[in-house]
Structure 1
Amino acid sequence: MRLENTVPEIAGGSTSLVVAVHGWTASSSTMQHVRSAVRDAMPNADLLFPDYPAGLFSSADPIEITEALVRCIGDAVKARETRGARYEAIVLIGHSLGALLVRKAYVFARGENQDHSGYLRGAPQAWGALVSRIILLAGTNRGWELRQKARDLSRPKWLAFNMCSQLWHWFRLARLINGAREGAPFVANLRIQWINLLRDRSLSPPVPMTVQLLGTVDDIVDERDNVDIQCGASFVYRSVPDTGHANVIDFSGAAGAVRKQIFLNALLTDAAQIESDMLVDFSSEPDVAHVVFVMHGIRDYGNWTQRLAPVIYETAERTSVNVRVVTSGYGYFPIAGFILQPERQKNVRWFMDQYTEALAKYPQAAMSFVGHSNGTYLLASALARYPACAFERAVFAGSVVNRNFPWSKHINESRLTAIQNFVASADLVVAIFPAIFERLRKSKSDLGSAGHTGFADRDPPVYEVTYMRGGHGAAVVPENFETISRFVLGDDAAAPTPPLLTQGQASPAVWAGKFCMVFAFAAIAFALMPMWAVPLGSHFALFDWRYTWNSLSALTAGWLLTVYFVCRWI
């Protein structure tokens, strides 16, 4: 990835470097008011306003843009040294998506770069320690999401955004803006990396003062979207009156003069004197030692999670562990959504947003996980796609994860300590549906039959429990809650009572697993029924219906839509 306009505007003394990055569908020219304000206020600062591919349908990788920005700043620092001196301070400024990019560049420069592409050196960059201030202009720090209409976003604009986001999502368009969605790997990893830096007491110098300037009528960013930034940091929240998301960088006119003054205060005011004028209800709980996420599966509202939580609290009380249980769910998830990988990933993004919020609220806590069915997919996908996240212990029931999932890799990287996997004796759901994907794509599939066959890696700390008597929900019954609670809180020896276990698997489940592809072909034949049933019926004069290719195609399309919407409810 190459940026444009990467040569700084050189000032006389050049004691500081100010880097400003524009937002989506914009360019460095849209930051001209910011440039002029900085030039006048800091005459001895070099100005670096690079351009990156930010078009409406840009498929640029935000990680590659970040790495290019890291190198660009590093080159500017080296160029200053060749002129006979060094920068005393670096100021990072970002608008909207640009705010994410400058924060990501900063955490990469400080060594929190687990998700770098490999093109960037893994070692910290020397310039990272020079950053003295970060200013975010309507920064989309939590990413963007359109599940609910923002308070100041008009309904027509919200509907248009929703329609575009669906098109981008399904046709793999606009990789850049999709990468900045709430809970997306680029965003969630950044939030985790930021919190890791805040937690690092040995970091010298610490994370600099960060100022978020947010308009009072911003229709994209909510004031509650910055929990992770203000967690333990020198964070300042300043409101900008009569300002929306786009015009926070517009300093023209009377309203612009007010915006300019607020921006200059954020840029120049001493860190000890600048104060927030916008209060956000947030308080961390550093005394909590353990957080346990309990996640339900498909076709399930998660009622069992509410019954498991009190048992975990009781177990924790006996062992004197201060624990919090998170049982918030992602809603009813039908089979049609489960089959489609983009739909599954929506829930993963939601889960990672929940994870980062918990990480900020409970800064000293270890994170553990209990999941059933699709809930197990959330954790496995998080470990595979979000290299900055880490968990203490995990419990799987009715797992739909590929049996070849590389647990040893994540355990060796200290991203998981132990996992307990309950394998049922008669889990027809896992034996058929996710097993089909595993058969088709082998180890490349992110779905599989681990709840029916167990994992290939069975050495401790991967503990297999075979076999739970019953079907898909055999392990998430009240009689087994004590075992789950003990294991997830640290007891490797926790095991179900004998009445819950059986020696082998039921024959129907075994045969279903062996012939799962028969079910796949039957499902495909059913879905395409008009394509073969109508011609066949006409051939044998079962009914008199004259058809053409166009009418048959329309009938098939209508049938497929009907099947899809029926599956959305089952």
Structure 2
Amino acid sequence: MTAEPTGLIVLVPGLGRTKIESLEKQLIAAYPNHRVKTFQHGIKPLSTRRGLDAVVDRLANSIRAWAGDNDGRREETASVILVGHSIGGIIARAAFLEAAGFGSEAPDDEPNGWATKTVRIVLLGSPNSGYHVENFPRSWRWAVPIVSGFAAFTIESVASGAYWLADLRLRWLHGIRVLGTTEAPKGSGPRPLIVQAYGDDDELVTRDDIDDSEYMPGTVRTRISSTDHGGLVDLTDASTKDQRWSELRHVIFGTFHGADTFTPPVETPVHFLLHGIRASAYDGWIGGVAAALRSQSTDAGSPPPKVVSLNYRFFSAIEFALPFTRRRNVHQFLDTYMAAVLTHSPDQFTFMGHSNGTYMMATVMKHVRAVRFRRILLAGTVLPPGFDWAKLRGRRQIGAYDANGVWADGEVHNDCARFDVPVGILATAIAGLGFRDIGAAGLRGFEGSHALDVTSHPTVFPQGHGGALQDHDGYPSRMPEIARFLSTGTVCTDPHEQRSRGFGIASRVTQILAPLVVLGILVGLGFAFAGLVVSIGVWGAIAAFAVPLVLIYVGLRTV
């Protein structure tokens, strides 16, 4: 005899000791027609990101078992409600997306049965954009900059701007927006109601931290009165229990109005224009391309596009050479992308980057699978010739979905210049020192199988690093050509210059000699310092070295 279908409520606690068991007991007593399960994830602040991914998979599999998807008892579960507190809400969101076909790896996995029965996801003090480090407990706050250099720990992975959290946030926005529409994966089921609750005395997660809900359908925000972060699931205090339970019960089972009142994404094109390490050297091209994009849209009778240009500060050659400073502005670009996704559809996003701007874009796309562009144009790129564009295409990061949810691959085009010294010498030397995220694709082009995923000209532009961004005699105006590619995918006419064989050889020799030169300099400095120690003492040697090294550093900061 088949059992009467029942509801399944899954509670996912936060970090450390919480009072969520008091909520579990209250739900069991008040709703005997529901099975209540608490998922003990065991995550700690210093768990690794790999452990975090494993917990997400374990939660999805646990719900699958509890819902009867594994043993033919699927019909015994009428509905599923997920309730996540703090980081538990982040884990619950990730598990639901995996089960609903919006996973972090394969783009459209077949949805699990329990995801199609999920009618509500309750997020209690769980931020959309991640935790702000300055709001962490003091013992965690000082630990973040210390431990983050050794591994990707949980405390860092769920912080605002972290790659793991940014990927989840983007997939969450996309998934909730398309569920229940023709763009959703086949068999994914209806969109659940999303209830985001925050405590009015919460010191860790505030109302501003859940503002993404303003841009998602089927989402409501509500306040739990007189409670801090831990108190959101605490029903042990007799003085607050009745009021707290009344509000929590409404959050989990109550009726909400206005869930579909939201700000939908705008479908107008968004063009990201990102300059290189010299904020002032070629910044004129950004204004020129922006003007050409607006002019072309006016001529076509289309709404003006949105142009996004991130103006990070002057970036010296030595700062670019050092990996920890080279990556400093990457998260700023990611934040800019996230802000655009809230208000506009990423199916209309294109990217044009020069020099370090191409590195920032590629680094973000490598680490955050949900970042995507319809078209990408590279000029003077400092990416390695073997950059894996095929991987990005396989993860559907280059292209767009049409109105019916059908994916179409997009375009990547690479423009090179004849005598690009920053690429051919500086980037090549950095690559020669063993840094695989930098290279001379802006001079040599992309090589091997990776070249199949990128279009390029058989010839190159004249002059140096900014050659592909400047007008030249006998050439069509560059700004309209760049704008035309971003708008329509039309590649410009071939430039007239042949690649310089001599400069190409010099570039390859630089890559070979770079480690030998650095080693020779270090050995020479070591002998010189030892000689000074013998002749003028340790402190005299330090002083003799410090002054010229400081002067060299200051000089390199302006090179």
Fold agreement, TM-score > 0.5 = yes
The verdict on how the C-alpha distance between 1:558 and 1:398 changes in structure 2, with shifts beyond 3 A counting, is: same
- CA separation in 2, counterparts of 1:37 and 1:306? 61
Question: 1:267 matched to which residue of 2?
Answer: 252
The verdict on how the C-alpha distance between 1:320 and 1:219 changes in structure 2, with shifts beyond 3 A counting, is: farther
Q: Once the 2 structures are TM-superposed, how far is the Cα of residue 145 of structure 1 from its aligned partner?
A: 4.1
Contact 1:422 1:465 (C-alpha < 8 Å) held by counterparts: no
User: Helix, strand or coil for the counterpart of 2:498?
Assistant: coil
User: Helix, strand or coil for the counterpart of 1:78?
Assistant: coil
Match for residue 493 of structure 1 among 480, 491, 494: 491
Match for residue 25 of structure 2 among 25, 32, 36: 36
Consecutive unaligned residues in structure 2, runs of 5 or more: 399-409, 472-476
Counterpart check, 1:446 vs 2:437 = yes
Q: How does 1:67-466 map to 2 (within 5 A)?
A: 67-78=57-68, 86-115=76-105, 122-146=109-133, 153=135, 163-172=142-151, 175-197=153-175, 198-200=177-179, 201-202=181-182, 203=184, 205-251=189-235, 252=237, 254-255=239-240, 257-271=242-256, 273=257, 283-288=263-268, 290-300=269-279, 303-304=283-284, 305-322=286-303, 323-335=305-317, 337-341=319-323, 343-345=325-327, 347-363=329-345, 365-411=347-393, 414-416=396-398, 417-439=410-432, 441=434, 445-456=436-447, 457-459=450-452, 462-464=455-457, 466=459
The verdict on how the C-alpha distance between 1:373 and 1:60 changes in structure 2, with shifts beyond 3 A counting, is: closer
Contact 1:454 1:464 (C-alpha < 8 Å) held by counterparts: no
- CA separation in 2, counterparts of 1:389 and 1:266? 32
Q: Once the 2 structures are TM-superposed, how far is the Cα of residue 257 of structure 1 from its aligned partner?
A: 4.6
Contact 2:382 2:438 (C-alpha < 8 Å) held by counterparts: yes
TM-score by length of 1: 0.80
Q: Deviations over 1:21-42 (max 9, x none)?
A: 1223x25x54223223322332
Contact 2:390 2:453 (C-alpha < 8 Å) held by counterparts: no
User: Helix, strand or coil for the counterpart of 1:475?
Assistant: helix
The verdict on how the C-alpha distance between 1:313 and 1:145 changes in structure 2, with shifts beyond 3 A counting, is: farther
Contact 2:375 2:489 (C-alpha < 8 Å) held by counterparts: no
- CA separation in 2, counterparts of 1:261 and 1:356? 36
User: Helix, strand or coil for the counterpart of 1:238?
Assistant: strand
The verdict on how the C-alpha distance between 1:465 and 1:317 changes in structure 2, with shifts beyond 3 A counting, is: farther
Contact 1:228 1:356 (C-alpha < 8 Å) held by counterparts: no
Question: 2:404 matched to which residue of 1?
Answer: none
User: Helix, strand or coil for the counterpart of 2:490?
Assistant: coil
Total equivalences in the alignment: 528
Contact 2:9 2:82 (C-alpha < 8 Å) held by counterparts: yes
RMSD: 3.8
User: Helix, strand or coil for the counterpart of 2:358?
Assistant: helix
- CA separation in 1, counterparts of 2:233 and 2:203? 15
Q: Once the 2 structures are TM-superposed, how far is the Cα of residue 423 of structure 1 from its aligned partner?
A: 1.1
User: Helix, strand or coil for the counterpart of 1:99?
Assistant: helix
The verdict on how the C-alpha distance between 1:347 and 1:554 changes in structure 2, with shifts beyond 3 A counting, is: same
Consecutive unaligned residues in structure 1, runs of 5 or more: 1-11
- CA separation in 1, counterparts of 2:4 and 2:553? 66
Contact 1:425 1:509 (C-alpha < 8 Å) held by counterparts: no
- CA separation in 1, counterparts of 2:551 and 2:233? 48
Contact 2:68 2:74 (C-alpha < 8 Å) held by counterparts: no
| One-letter code aligned to 1:446 | D
The verdict on how the C-alpha distance between 1:460 and 1:50 changes in structure 2, with shifts beyond 3 A counting, is: closer
- CA separation in 2, counterparts of 1:180 and 1:557? 41
The verdict on how the C-alpha distance between 1:560 and 1:413 changes in structure 2, with shifts beyond 3 A counting, is: same
| One-letter code aligned to 1:41 | A
Q: Once the 2 structures are TM-superposed, how far is the Cα of residue 102 of structure 1 from its aligned partner?
A: 0.3
Contact 1:424 1:505 (C-alpha < 8 Å) held by counterparts: no
Contact 1:183 1:351 (C-alpha < 8 Å) held by counterparts: no
Contact 2:13 2:88 (C-alpha < 8 Å) held by counterparts: yes
The verdict on how the C-alpha distance between 1:161 and 1:422 changes in structure 2, with shifts beyond 3 A counting, is: farther
- CA separation in 1, counterparts of 2:164 and 2:27? 29
TM-score by length of 2: 0.82
